[in-house]
Homo-oligomer: A and B are copies of this chain.
């Protein structure tokens, strides 16, 4: 038989995926799931691509601050813009959620949706992660691309459910993940319908959040967008607990998995579960690790379960 997951080492994580797909797609199995109920949801940052030491969307926002600085001369004297423009890493490391929100609103609103799309596409096509000197979209995990393709081939609808910006991720989800925009659920800002000079109806992005798609909101937004519980869910942090619980609450077989970043050599090591170093954003806490153990969620050890991390050779 063809190995659908060649970037995975043999072990409990790989087996759990294969067993789930076989059981739910074999019409003779008691765990068979009809085609239209086959839904799988994936967190993005830290689950599908590298999120450390800074999530990619923040790198985009910082680049936009630099690009918009000439048009906003006050920024060079005004925090948090001042520290971003000065490249002051110590100050940036101390940014609060409020600081990040200010930066996101200044770079993600006040323009037509099409303009925002273009600004993301242009940046994504060029910007590179400093550690690997690769475009950020090359830093997707090859093992997860294989899982998505394996599930897709078996009739699953694949969704991204991300705390990141929905409009941001939708610009590249089709080309990077083979996921169309309507299957990307994420944090969303309000838009406002108005008319362009040529009379065309357009949507202008507003500096106000409709929802921040993290923690409990992931379950709420899955219901809002999908109207049903997923069958499989993949995450990597405390922000994904409710999504996994909500998925496991489905009747019948479910697959619930969390990626543990325990590979300092090939990627990064952080938790703080299992004594790994703590991180400010998106931690994988020991409480979540214990919940995974208690509820039978699979923890994917990046170090042990993944034969290779990326499509390229580092």
Residues of A within 8 A of B (CB): 36, 113, 157, 166-167, 170, 174, 180-182, 184, 188, 190-193, 200-203, 210, 216-217, 219-220, 223-228, 242, 245-246, 248-249
Contacts and interface: CB of A to CB of B under 8 A. Distances in A.
Contact of A227 (B157, B167, B246): B167
A224 B210 contact: yes
Contact of A113 (B184, B202, B223): B223
B201 A245 contact: yes
B188 A227 contact: no
A133 to B, nearest CB: 31
Contacts of A216: 192-193
Decide if the interface of chain A is mainly helix, strand, loop or mixed.
helix
Contacts of A180: 36
8 smallest CB-CB distances across A and B, nearest first, come from A181-B227, A193-B216, A201-B245, A200-B249, A170-B227, A201-B246, A182-B226, A193-B219
A32 B69 CA distance: 42
A248 B198 CA distance: 13
